[in-house]
């Protein structure tokens, strides 16, 4: 059985992008990226909103000797995985192994995760909010950048309450902290 993993970088105050939609500050260091790759190594399917898909689509075209070892490893994980892009505005996507989903169906996703021997990674706070509300996310990986941005897009949906189990804490040289919590 697979797991549904939500992994995202936030500011200390919990935002994934500022009020103008800027998230350049979330770019991981090589050390952080290597750690992310260990989390994503067993991912067989990425579930992405349109913006997250557009951001990660560059991984399809990176040369095999790409910009860094961490990016090369992530690109290999990305290329090997299926991608489901959730969008009401897109009619096609250019990345390999990709399909478009116009509606998020929690029952279908739950069945796919249960029947899979690979994990699923959900990207983007809006799509992840749907899975969180449905109680489908098994692991939460929050990478906290050492800055406060004051306003923007929050990483979790409002009005959702649930108990989680603390799993681990990891500190990185650039001041980023990783927290992992699992669904109880």
* Ordered mean pLDDT values, 10 residues apiece, the chain (184 residues): 98 97 95 98 97 92 86 95 95 93 97 98 96 98 98 97 98 98 98
Contact 66, 72 (CB under 8 A): yes
Report residue 13: phi and psi, to 5°: -90, 10
Determine the Cα–Cα distance for residues 54 and 164; give it in Å rounded to an integer.
31
- The enclosing H or E element of 130 equals helix 125-133
How many residues in total does the chain contain? Answer: 184
pLDDT of residue 65: 80
Determine the Cα–Cα distance for residues 12 and 150; give it in Å rounded to an integer.
9
Q: Which CATH architecture has domain 28-172?
A: 3-Layer(aba) Sandwich (3.40)
- Ordered by start, the domain boundaries in the chain are 28-172
Could you tell me the end-to-end alpha-carbon distance of the chain, in angstroms, rounded to an integer?
16
pTM summary value: 0.96
């Amino acid at each position: 059985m697979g797991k549904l993993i939500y992994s995202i970088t936030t500011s200390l105050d919990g935002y994934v992008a500022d009020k103008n939609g800027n998230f350049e500050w979330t770019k991981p260091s090589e050390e952080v990226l290597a750690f992310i790759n260990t989390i994503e190594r067993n991912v067989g399917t990425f579930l992405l909103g349109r913006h997250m898909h557009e951001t990660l689509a560059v991984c399809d075209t990176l040369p095999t000797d790409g910009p860094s070892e961490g990016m090369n490893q992530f690109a290999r994980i990305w290329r090997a995985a299926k991608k489901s892009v959730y969008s009401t505005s897109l009619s096609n996507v250019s990345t390999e192994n990709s399909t478009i989903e116009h509606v998020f169906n929690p029952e279908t996703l739950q069945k796919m995760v249960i029947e899979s021997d690979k994990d699923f990674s959900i990207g983007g706070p809006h799509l992840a909010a749907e899975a969180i509300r449905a109680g489908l996310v098994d692991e939460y990986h929050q990478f906290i950048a050492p800055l406060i941005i004051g306003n923007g897009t929050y990483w979790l949906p409002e009005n959702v309450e649930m108990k989680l189990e603390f799993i681990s804490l990891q500190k990185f040289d650039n001041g980023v902290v990783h927290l992992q919590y699992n669904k109880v």
